[in-house]
Amino acid sequence: MRFVEGDVRNFRESGPFDAVIARLLLFHLSNAVDVVRYQLGGLKPGGVVLAIDFDVGAARAEPAVPSGTSIPASRPHHRARICRPRLTPRRQ
């Protein structure tokens, strides 16, 4: 077994892979679906893509905080701004 590290967006070895493994990667990419499709093209027949990632769609704050609003604080220098990332998948 041999592990190879590279840029998942454009890395390609001279021969096909048995498996592509990514951990905590896809949620960082704006084009995750494209990257997975690209990596599928580099697999041997019957090869495996294993992606271990977060589902940030279920993320929440406790207690609930409305999206895009300021959090009140007792001191002005402890204010924070809450921003919710866009989670809508791109349409092909």
Residue 6, pLDDT > 60, answer: yes
pLDDT (0 to 100) of residue 61: 72
- For the chain, which residues make up each domain, given as ranges? 17-81
Q: How far apart (Å, rounded) are the C-alpha atoms in residues 65 and 31?
A: 29
Q: How far apart (Å, rounded) are the C-alpha atoms in residues 2 and 18?
A: 10
Residue 17, pLDDT > 80, answer: yes
Which residue has 């929440």 as its token pair?
A: 60
User: pLDDT tens-digit profile of 32-88?
Assistant: 999 999 999 999 999 998 889 877 677 777 777 666 555 455 444 444 444 444 445
Omega cis (within 30) before 63: yes
